[in-house]
Chains A and B, each alone.
Chain A
Amino acid sequence: MKESYFVHTKESDWSEFLTSLDRLESRWNRGKSTNADGFTDRYRRIAHDLTIARTRGYSNQLIDRLNNLVQRGHNLLYTKRFGWVHGFLNFFTYSFPQAVRSQKLYILLSVLAFVGPGLGMSYMISTQTEFVHTVLSDEQLYQLQEMYDPNSERRRVKRTAIENIEMFGHYILNNTSIGLLVFINGLVFGIGSIIALAFNGIFIGSVITYLCIAGYSSTVLPFVVGHGAFELTAIVIAGAAGLRMAKGVFIPGVYARKTSIKIASKEAFLLCGGFFTMFILAAFIEAFWSPSDFLPNSIKYSVGILLWIAVFYYFLFVGRDKHSHR
């Protein structure tokens, strides 16, 4: 059969397929049944036409046109339409806590790198307060004192809702960029993550210790305890993800380096998605819950401790008994 006759006999079929493609691809019809007006049958026929056109050596333009039709039909028929709610739930009730547990070693390293220097600095400052000057400048110390002094001018003025939102934006940007920095620094032979973790640990440890020694513990600790549950664990997880990447890139072990990087990033990605969400949660708590002055400290302490218990429960027990849906 010559090409022009082939086109002549099939032309109406193709143009009808094209109109139904245009209709089904529009946003409003997305997700509706594609079986209407014999779409699938026509799709199969046109797929057949494409192979015929290829084997008979018809012109490239015709083949391109048919290829385009078949590709669009294929996309409509074979697009994965997972419920994304289910995907989210699966990630947070199964994949993420399992990933954290399966990367025990890196989490442990990360905890050591973060908490160790922090506690050390805290001990040094508690024995000799002057050590705080190695970390914080006078100006920073002055600002901190002003922020957390229960009797200062600034604390008497209540924060407005707009200021809360402003702080939320500030924390969300700040936290995620710290997390990302800790993670990406892992690509500098893994040392980068450890240094970033240690630096953050020292900074946080010295600030809290100094303020407690200065006698502001009644304002600092209730502020910190709530969002700390998410923020501190998230930093640790970011560090662990960075270290896992470093292991994949620099110590491939039995794998080829390319494969090793792929495996490492697959595992690190689960941690990334998790710590990203945790930072956002932490920013939310830090902006709207932690600074609320009208609540008595006992409530803030108990909620904070409950949050810590919840976080530990989540990472230790959630998702153990379920098998992956993927």
Chain B
Amino acid sequence: MIFLYNPYHLNKTIDEVLKNIKSRPSRQSSRNTNIDRPENILETSHTRYSYRDFDAAHTIDSRFDHDTPEGVQIVLRPAGIVARGTGFLVDEIIKLLVFFFLQLVFQYLGLIGLNLSGLHLIIVFVVLWLYGFIFEWFNDGMTPGKMMVKAKAVNLDGTPLSLYSAAVRNLFRPIDSVSLFMVGLPLGGVGMPGALFILFSARFRRLGDHLANTMVIHTNTPEFAKREPTATVRQIPQPLKVNEQLLLLEFQDRLGSFSEGRAIELAEILYPLHGLEGESAVRACMEYANSIRGVK
């Protein structure tokens, strides 16, 4: 089931929406009417249709496709405000703890007669200003906070940060989190520009990201517990669509993460197909999946 961005289209499938778009004259196409409309919209570039049409046909999704020069799409998953905010807070707390610790250490050194407060101030400067930059440049785009929420900063095409982009996005961090530095500013209507930018941009990018052409993506891939594989195959009584086949494969892959009851409940949805109940229904679904996968 595909939910669409525009509430008007909520009950339609994507095919209906696309059909709708094809029948509607668009802003762009009025200029080049002599060009034939191709039959399949999905195989054409989007530019022939107006921005609004394109927007309406798009689903809400946390995935972002990057087209590589090989003509393949890599799926990147931008991290949203919750993950990024958590990482940010963790980083700030770590910085505070480091400052506290430094204070203790250098105070102690001062007591035993070693006055190194210059070194202290220089370290404070480095931590205050270069924390994000050093971690992101040497640790593949990951500060400790980002490591905790399993995210990393990358260029828009998914490649590791360059020196320039790491510097830019970290120099602009104070601007993105102004209200942490100046408490009065939220009254001026500016607050935390970074958070606003993350909320209202397509790939959850703050101002520094926009400048440096970077974004923050999730690095974790969903892993499901495996279950003892069934080796037997069962013939599916009627041909299934690709989506339905995929559902069966997904069911097989994720079986380890379902509870016993939930697995049976899901498998019994296909009662019209296999006519079984309980544990045997689950086995039947597994065998269907095996036959789709081609296990011998």
Cα separation A261 to B174 with both chains bound (whole Å): 15
Q: Is the CB of A99 closer than 8 A to any CB of chain B?
A: no
Q: Is the CB of A35 closer than 8 A to any CB of chain B?
A: no
Evaluate contact between A272 and B171: CB separation under 8 angstroms: yes
Q: Which residues of A contact B118 (CB under 8 A)?
A: 162-170
Q: Which of B13-21, B78-86, B244-252 contacts A (4 or more CB under 8 A)?
A: B244-252
Q: What residue of chain B has the Cβ atom nearest to residue A165's Cβ?
A: B118
What are 28 A-B pairs at a CB distance below 8 A? A43-B70, A44-B70, A47-B70, A50-B72, A51-B72, A57-B242, A59-B250, A59-B252, A59-B253, A61-B224, A64-B222, A67-B75, A75-B160, A78-B69, A79-B160, A80-B162, A168-B121, A169-B121, A169-B125, A170-B118, A173-B121, A173-B125, A180-B174, A184-B182, A187-B185, A261-B193, A266-B211, A269-B172
Q: Could you tell me the distance in whole angstroms from the C-beta of A6 to the nearest C-beta in chain B?
A: 8
Contacting B at CB under 8 A, from A61-89, are 61, 64, 67-68, 70-71, 74-75, 78-80, 82, 84, 87
Given A2-B293, A70-B72, A60:B185 Cβ within 8 A: no
Q: Which residues of B does A touch, CB under 8 Å?
A: 68-72, 74-76, 115-122, 124-125, 128-129, 155, 157-160, 162-164, 167-168, 171-172, 174-175, 178, 181-182, 185, 188, 190, 193, 200, 207, 210-211, 221-222, 224, 242, 245-246, 249-250, 252-253, 292-296
Contacting B at CB under 8 A, from A109-156, are none
Interface range for A: 35 or more
Q: Which residues of A contact B75 (CB under 8 A)?
A: 67
Q: Which residues of B contact A189 (CB under 8 A)?
A: 188
Q: Which residues of A contact B188 (CB under 8 A)?
A: 187-189
Evaluate contact between A172 and B211: CB separation under 8 angstroms: no
Q: Which residues of A does B touch, CB under 8 Å?
A: 1-5, 43-44, 47-48, 50-51, 57-61, 64, 67-68, 70-71, 74-75, 78-80, 82, 84, 87, 162-170, 172-173, 176, 180, 184-185, 187-189, 245, 249, 258, 261-262, 265-266, 269, 272-273, 276
Q: Could you tell me the distance in whole angstroms from the C-beta of B157 to the nearest C-beta in chain A?
A: 7
Evaluate contact between B71 and A51: CB separation under 8 angstroms: yes
Q: Could you tell me the distance in whole angstroms from the C-beta of A29 to the nearest C-beta in chain B?
A: 14
| Most chain B CB inside 10 Å of its own CB: which residue of A166, A185, A189, A262 | A166
Evaluate contact between B159 and A75: CB separation under 8 angstroms: yes
Given A47-B70, A87-B163, A184-B182, A265:B121 Cβ within 8 A: no
